[in-house]
Amino acid sequence: MKQLECGRRYFLRAGALGSLVGVSLPEFLRLQSVMAAGKSKAQSCILMWLKGGPSHVDTWDPKPNSSFKPISTNVAGIQISSLLPRVAKHMDKLALVRSMHTLEQDHSAATYYAMTGHRPIPAMHFPSLGSIVTKELGPRSGLPAYVLEPQWERERVYEDSFKAGFLGPEFNPMITPDPSQPGFQVPDLSLPESLPMERLQDRRALLQLVDRSFRQIEESAEYANMDRFSEQALKMILSPEVRKAFDLSQEPQKVKESYGLHGLGQSVLLARRLVENGCRFVTAAGNQVNDWDTHVLNDKKHGETLVPQLDQSFAYLLEDLEQRGLLESTLVIAMGEFGRTPHHNANGGRDHWPQCWSLALGGGGIRGGQVIGASDERGAKVSGPVTSIGDLAATIYKAFGIDWKKEYMSPIGRPVKIANAFNDVTGEPIEGLV
């Protein structure tokens, strides 16, 4: 029954679309966002996933024990690392949370925890933030509602943190290859040359024939779903909009360069395209293999590559979204799975540090230009109240207009909170953000 409801919602939207003659899909969605902006409700989300855990003292929470000085931003009283000069000019759009406190030291467990609010347990698979948002709000357009890019070829297990768990494969993200690689193409979205559209139609007609005798024996809800997905898939493949949304070659070279011709930059660019064309939740991971995990030569890697790339892509994303009128309706989050140690280790690196770290979020109705929480003089401990993953999730849900106190019933009969903070208590939306 739930699936029917989802379909109905989508169906209604498609109908509304059809009635606006002459309006292109991006325009329609922009209208939708503008209307929704009045109620400060986010319509989509771009999650910039900084895999490996960025060092907070070298980014959002500058301290004397960082090798990099702090700089002022365009908001009086807020300073960030000098490695982020461009983002500093957009601080009025962003809220910084410096009091993040989580429990997991290990990459895979920490990623899982950050996205689901639960430690991994053998008994069941918890649903991720993106899957929950997708389930609650449904798709916005003919595009897949939830996308993760790129796939982590050697570390597929990390993808589980972004999946739907017991909610079912319907709410899994579509996972694309790396958009920064030449010849980037999403598999299964376009027909191979040997298969022109007419031939595809032939095939489907033949399938009806072949299926006939079996259909006569029994119909079931599951088969009805197969049909529904089949229709949806066909629409997607045949619709130029969907293919165009995933087609980075449509972007002028200048824009690509502004985002940065690297993994993060192109992921973020693709994310903007997708959101513009109606995607609900995009995780732009951008980096393979724990790039931010600088156990060795932290300053060099953060200082020369990682943070400058982040600075470039993040700043331009904010600018770009604003220019296109999408900032009000698009929630943007930049985070990893934890922070890094306040001290350097013997290899000039910083190790994992979940007990105190930072993240940045903006857009989607978030009140920018503010700092939530604080850490001690070295960025080692949170001073004052901590912000849990449950609080972060509650904030995000609130921005979307989703009831963050909701609980799902898992298949093992245990109720699961969608915004799970410590000790099985529901998190609270961060004051003053939404």
Nearer to another protein by Cβ, of 36 and 234: the residue is: 234
* CA 117 to each of CA 45, 102, 113: distance values in angstroms, whole numbers, following the listed order: 18, 10, 5
Nearer to another protein by Cβ, of 177 and 325: the residue is: 177
Write down the least CB distance from residue 245 to another protein, Å. Answer: 14
Nearer to another protein by Cβ, of 77 and 168: the residue is: 168
CA dihedral 216, 221, 222, 226 (to 10 degrees): 80
Nearer to another protein by Cβ, of 57 and 115: the residue is: 115
Write down the least CB distance from residue 135 to another protein, Å. Answer: 13
* CA 304 to each of CA 102, 288, 413: distance values in angstroms, whole numbers, following the listed order: 28, 17, 50
Residues 16-39: b if buried by 16+ CB within 10 A, e if exposed: ebeeeeeeebbebbbebbeebbee
* CA 149 to each of CA 46, 238, 386: distance values in angstroms, whole numbers, following the listed order: 11, 22, 30
Nearer to another protein by Cβ, of 322 and 428: the residue is: 428
d(C-alpha 390, C-alpha 386), whole Å: 11
Q: Which helix (H) or strand (E) holds 48?
A: strand 44-49
Write down the least CB distance from residue 321 to another protein, Å. Answer: 27
* Strands 352-353 and 70-72, bridge-based pairing: unpaired
Nearer to another protein by Cβ, of 106 and 299: the residue is: 106
Nearer to another protein by Cβ, of 27 and 231: the residue is: 231
Write down the least CB distance from residue 120 to another protein, Å. Answer: 5
Write down the least CB distance from residue 173 to another protein, Å. Answer: 9
Nearer to another protein by Cβ, of 237 and 386: the residue is: 237
Write down the least CB distance from residue 212 to another protein, Å. Answer: 8
Q: Cis peptide leading into 150, omega within 30 of 0?
A: yes
Write down the least CB distance from residue 390 to another protein, Å. Answer: 13
Residues 273/242, Cβ–Cβ less than 8 Å? no
Nearer to another protein by Cβ, of 111 and 375: the residue is: 111
Write down the least CB distance from residue 247 to another protein, Å. Answer: 15
Q: Which residues bind another protein (CB under 8 A)?
A: 106, 108-109, 119-125, 144, 151, 153-154, 156-157, 160, 164, 166, 168-170, 172, 174-175, 187-192, 194-195, 199-200, 202-203, 206-207, 209-211, 213-215, 217-218, 220, 222-223, 225-226, 229-230, 232-234, 236-237, 411-414, 422-425
Write down the least CB distance from residue 272 to another protein, Å. Answer: 22
Write down the least CB distance from residue 209 to another protein, Å. Answer: 6
37 phi/psi in degrees, rounded to 5: -60, -35
Q: Which helix (H) or strand (E) holds 243?
A: helix 240-245
Classify 176 as helix, strand or coil. Answer: coil
Residues 56/280, Cβ–Cβ less than 8 Å? no
Output the 3-class SS for 188-234.
CCCCCCCCCHHHHHHHHHHHHHHHHHHHHHCCCHHHHHHHHHHHHHH
Q: Could you say which DSSP state residue 303 is in?
A: I
Nearer to another protein by Cβ, of 151 and 383: the residue is: 151
Nearer to another protein by Cβ, of 174 and 399: the residue is: 174
Write down the least CB distance from residue 237 to another protein, Å. Answer: 6
d(C-alpha 398, C-alpha 431), whole Å: 11
d(C-alpha 327, C-alpha 42), whole Å: 9
